[in-house]
Chain A
Amino acid sequence: MSLLEVTDLTVSFPTEDGVVRAVRGVSFSINVGQTLGIVGESGSGKSVSTQTIMGLTRGAQITGSAVFEGRDLLGMSQQDLRKVRGAEIGMIFQDPLSSLHPQYRVGWQIVEMIRAHEDVSKKDATKRAVDLLGLVGIPQPDRRVDDYPHQFSGGMRQRAMIAMAVALNPKLLIADEPTTALDVTVQAQIIDLMERLQSEFNTAIIMITHDLGVVADIADDVMVMYAGKPVEFADRRTLYYRPHHPYTKGLIESIPSSEGGRGRLKPIQGQPPSLINLPSGCSFHPRCPYVMDQCITEVPPLRQVAGSPSHRSACWLPVDEVGFGDDVEAQREKVAASRRGALATQESEVVPAVVSAAGTTAPPPAQAGPTDTSDNSDIGDQQ
């Protein structure tokens, strides 16, 4: 039996401008000691999904279930959920500076966590806090325990956050972009630390990130999300080498590689859609180079993809054409062209060619949907 089983989770926020459909039917499960990576751009619903499971989204309309060790977290009273939070499911957030209370000592904050769930004396809890800080690799933990967060470096703060999250030896750790705010060198250290703790305590980890490199390091399985829906599921290797969904391919192709650094990056064109006014059919279709008539009219279900039994993708392209390579590309283009009627032809004219001619810079097209360039720049334009 899996540790956490999420089924058909939807989360919407009523706002003055309309209903924001942040999560639109997410299902996944995670086993003890496993790592699930959730990947997607900002606004794809990856953080909202996990925070909803923890009861941290306020004012949202939620449906679906999230069964953790036989109990549905979404149907629990706040009282019961509080006992799960922290003690059984730990969380780590993106920015460790703003996620730690600036006016309390680091040790105090860890002690508070321990004493919220266990009946131990302040002295014993402090001792444990010191041990935890040592465990996550903070030098001189007996002295640093009395520091304030602003006296720590960025990496140390994240280590302290991790120390706090694992203080009660939770069965599941939800890491919400834990390395995004850190230097690249520190990122690797934090990932190493999480892997070490995982093997030591057999903790399951949900790793939310928009950085496929992080997922490549640590995840067993990966779920790719787009506009509040999972678009592709696969184990790590399959996802990297044999992706099916054009969005996943786009994400992988927009990673700068250290080897063939000569070629231009291929960013995904366009902007993520508005979650209030979603595109019809497949919500990725306005940005998809293979757009077909079916994509505009019908929502693609998750279908099993050839090659691996656990590989599923929500795309109308044939399920036997996966991965990269010119022949696959050509085959896909052919299929797309043959199934492209009047609708998609019109649509595809606003989608620029995936590969722009060498030497010319493809300017971002003026696309439909609200533009928040600062928010999605982390994936699209790593030039």
Chain B
Amino acid sequence: MGRFIARRLLFGVVVLFVISLAVFVLFFVVAPGDPAANFVGKSPTPEQIQQAKVRYGLDKPVPEQYLQYVGRLLHGDLGYSFRNAEPVRKTLLDRLPATASLAGGAAVVWLLMGIPIGILAATKPRSIRDRLATVFALGGLSIPPFVAGLLLLYFLYYRLSLNGLDIFPASGYVPLTQNPFEWARHLILPWFALALVTAASYSRITRGSLLEVLGEDYIRTARAKGLSERRVIYRHGLRSALTPVVTLLGIDVGTLLGGAIVTEVVFGLQGIGQNAIVAVSTGDLPVIFGTVLFAAFFIVIANILVDIAYAVLDSRVRLA
């Protein structure tokens, strides 16, 4: 197990380097325009640009620039924002709690919605409730988060507030450590907006996976043992059926930690995704790099966790 984790971490580092190289090439070599011009504000003089080039090492050959860039990365230095000269690392870490709260809470919501709906559908295939579950899934998958978000805002914020019921705030983020209740109150609408689509796909995956497992020989054995149907489905069926769900969960949460851009923007959450949108629209290269690497880091970690979870869930999987 230890060796496996070490190897996967090493591999993850390699992946991050490949990504850093790709990002570097994309923005410094392929992208049109002089990167140095970004560092000096509007209508600079040629001297200023030259100064900036020397200062940021942009006068050196590209490979050397990359090595310097990687060298800084290794020290945890993601550079400074062009826009406000803040260290990128600090910005990202400051914004991580909001994004993590959004992603984690949404994951809980979509699991609590998706898995039970999938179970209900799978245990009575082709029944009314199976068809209703299909409608939910198709509906959920067809409504993009920004539409779901706006609908939620319209009904649960705007209409309720008109009637004097200020139950859900429209936007903002309160840190969990500051006030857990306010934290949850501010996040409920974004959680649901984000979770709806994912819950729909999780319900389909749970249904398909469970339906397949329930046809297995060992389910027949479980019934032949005289176990209750409940136990057959939950202890024997779900145990196997949830493995693909765990895989997806790891990757989905990992991806969301890199920023749930649309949801954060719709609900005005000061998270990583919203920050990334501002960075892209203002050409704030260091922030864009930082965000991409940050997101990639979470995905790599999520993948390792998924592999470990696999080994824990299924004794046949050997980690090597």
Contact = CB atoms under 8 A, between A and B. Distances in A.
A85 B314 contact: no
Interface string B210-221: 000000111011
A164 B225 contact: yes
Contact of A78 (B229, B240, B313, B315): B229
B239 A95 contact: no
Contacts of A56: 220, 223-224
B55 interface: no
B236 interface: yes
Contacts of B313: 103
Nearest to B214: A58
A99 B225 contact: no
Contact of A100 (B218, B223, B229, B231): B218
Contacts of A161: 221
A148 interface: yes
B3 interface: no
B75 interface: no
Interface string A31-69: 000000000000000000001001010000000000000
B222 interface: yes
Contacts, number: 71
Contacts of A117: 226
B115 to A, nearest CB: 18
Interface string B223-235: 1111111010000
Contacts of B225: 85-86, 112-113, 116, 164
B226 A86 contact: yes
A93 interface: yes
Interface size class for chain B?
20 to 34
B217 A85 contact: no
Interface string A72-105: 0000001000111111001101110011111110
B209 to A, nearest CB: 14
Given A99-B217, A99-B218, A100-B218, A86 B315 contact: no
A150 interface: yes
Given A100-B221, A103-B315, A82 B228 contact: yes
Given A103-B239, A103-B313, A150-B316, A98 B216 contact: yes
Given A104-B239, A112-B227, 7 more contacts: A56-B220, A87-B226, A100-B218, A101-B239, A150-B315, A150-B316, A161-B221
Contacts of B239: 101, 103-104
Contacts of B236: 101
Contact of A93 (B220, B226, B315): B220
Instruction: Name B's interface SS.
Output: helix
B316 A102 contact: yes
B226 A83 contact: yes
Given A103-B313, A150-B316, A91 B229 contact: no
Contact of A98 (B217, B224, B316): B217
Nearest to A167: B225
A91 B222 contact: no
Nearest to A97: B217
Interface of A: 51, 54, 56, 78, 82-87, 90-91, 93-95, 98-104, 112-113, 116-117, 148, 150, 161, 164
Nearest to A88: B226
20 contacts: A51-B220, A82-B228, A93-B220, A98-B217, A100-B218, A101-B221, A101-B236, A101-B240, A102-B218, A102-B316, A103-B239, A103-B240, A103-B314, A104-B239, A113-B226, A116-B226, A148-B316, A150-B315, A161-B221, A164-B225
A154 to B, nearest CB: 14
Nearest to B224: A91
Contacts of A98: 216-218
A91 B221 CA distance: 8
Contacts of A148: 315-316
Interface-central residue, B216, B218, B240, B313, by most chain A CB under 10 Å: B218
A367 B202 CA distance: 47
Contacts of A87: 226
A92 to B, nearest CB: 9
A117 B313 CA distance: 27
Contact of B224 (A85, A103, A104): A85
- Which of B222, B231, B236 is most buried by chain A, counting CB atoms within 10 A of its CB? B222
A87 B231 CA distance: 17
Given A93-B217, A98-B217, A99-B217, A54 B314 contact: no
A84 B226 contact: yes
Given A103-B314, A148-B316, A85 B226 contact: yes
Residue among B216, B220, B226, B229 with the highest chain A CB neighbour number at 10 A: B226
Contacts of B222: 101
Contacts of A51: 220
Interface string B296-320: 0000000000000000011110000
Contacts of A95: 217
A56 B219 CA distance: 10
Nearest to B313: A103
B246 to A, nearest CB: 13
Given A82-B228, A148-B316, A93 B221 contact: yes
Give 4 closest A-B pairs by Cβ, nearest first.
A86-B226, A85-B226, A98-B217, A91-B224
A86 B224 contact: yes
Contacts of B217: 93-95, 98-99
Contacts of A78: 229
Contacts of B224: 54, 56, 85-86, 90-91, 93
A99 B212 CA distance: 15
B221 to A, nearest CB: 5
A82 B222 CA distance: 11
A79 to B, nearest CB: 9
Contacts of B315: 102-103, 148, 150
